[in-house]
Amino acid sequence: MRGRVALHPIETGHHNHSHPYYDVMVPPENAPDRRFPQAVFARGTEPDARFSLANERTFLAWTRTSLALIAGGVALEALGLDLQPQLRLAASLVLIVVGALLPVAAWVAWAHTERALREGRHLPHPPVGAVLAITLTVAGVLVLLAVLLR
């Protein structure tokens, strides 16, 4: 068997012999959708997969942003830069705490967007972008003060 998406023939799937991938079993259209999380996939109808993939890429981009914030925050302290110590620590903590919370917000935003896609509603506008802008501004000001007051 080539594909891992395959279901056993007894589950009333069908072979598509017109295609090189004919050995892949396709689940019937009315098969129950057991994908995780059910709070998302049990609702609405299947949207254009390209939109779902774009939603997935957005989630991954937020994850990379989170990793960058955490790495920046840890590096600020671990590298022992010649900055005012308290302000340096404050900037570091701001970056790390927001970096740790961002994946949670990204997951919630992914779920809300995917649900909106499935239900044909307007896409939500999660506030994570504003949170990121405020975080970077605060951290930047703290680092600037740490440079000036060292």
Partner 1 sequence: MSAPGPVDVGLQIERTTLSWRRTGLAVAIGSLVAMRLLPELLGGLAWAIPGGVGVLASLWMWWMSRRRHRAFVERAAASGTPRIGGAAPLFAIAVGTTLIGLFGLGLTTLVR
Q: Residue 5 interacts with partner 1 (CB under 8 A)?
A: yes
Q: Helix, strand, or coil here: 26? A: strand
Three state DSSP letters for 41-93: HCCCCCCCHHHHHHHHHHHHHHHHHHHHHHHHHHHHHHCCCCCCHHHHHHHHH
- String marking each residue 63-102 x if it binds partner 1 according to CB under 8 A: xx-xxx-xx-xx--xx----------x--xx--xx-xxxx
Comparing CB distances to partner 1, the nearer of 13 and 145 is 13
Reduced DSSP (H G I as helix, E B as strand, rest coil) percent helix, strand, coil of the chain, to 5? 60, 0, 35
* Site of interaction with partner 1 (CB under 8 A): 2-5, 16, 19-22, 24-26, 29, 34-37, 40-41, 46, 49-50, 52-54, 56-57, 59-61, 63-64, 66-68, 70-71, 73-74, 77-78, 89, 92-93, 96-97, 99-104, 106-107, 110-111, 114
